[in-house]
Amino acid sequence: MTDKENRAGRSECNDDQPFWQVKSLQDMNLDEWDALCDGCAKCCLHKLEDEDTGELAFTSVACSQLDIASCRCRNYAERTFLVDDCVELTKENLSHLKWLPPTCAYRLIYGGKLLFNWHPLMSGDPESVHQAGVSVRGKAVEEGGDQDLEDHIVKWPEQDYEEDFEEAG
């Protein structure tokens, strides 16, 4: 959090609205960009793509660098060097990443939608994403061994939660 933001994510340039409502994704600084991540870790699950249809399927298997208890990368700064297919989410590639879950704040804001009330920027509590059951905590399995990813295909990362949770401002 920068000096220009308080704990509610309000910007000095507009005290009435949080930064994600007054700034475009392109105009956000690095701290603001990083603060949008809710910590769900769904992007760190292995995904499979059907070669014929291009359809994507999430698995419950987490990247080797993900600590599934905390939902944080063990080696965040080095992740793209340690994991060949790790994709760094940037302002430039956001529009091309169709596999981001529907609850992802980057995807929501890019699409002109509001954040959910369980998002840490809304609740003020980094645990709220886990308490709401939106994260991979308690659902993902560690990568390793002779896992056949097709045996671990799941639908829960794609659930949009719109029926279960209210969107907030």
Enter the DSSP assignment of 115: P
Give φ, ψ of 45 to 5 degrees: -85, 145
The amino acid that residue 87 corresponds to is V
Please name the residue that has the structure tokens 């990247």: 63
Local confidence band at 161 (pLDDT 50, 70, 90 cut-offs): low
Local confidence band at 4 (pLDDT 50, 70, 90 cut-offs): very low
The amino acid that residue 65 corresponds to is Q
pLDDT at 21 over 50: yes
CA angle 115-133-138, nearest 5°? Answer: 140
Domains of the chain, by residue range, sit at: 36-158
Q: What is the model's pLDDT at position 159?
A: 77
User: 30, 38, 24, 26: which is closest to 5 by C-alpha?
Assistant: 30
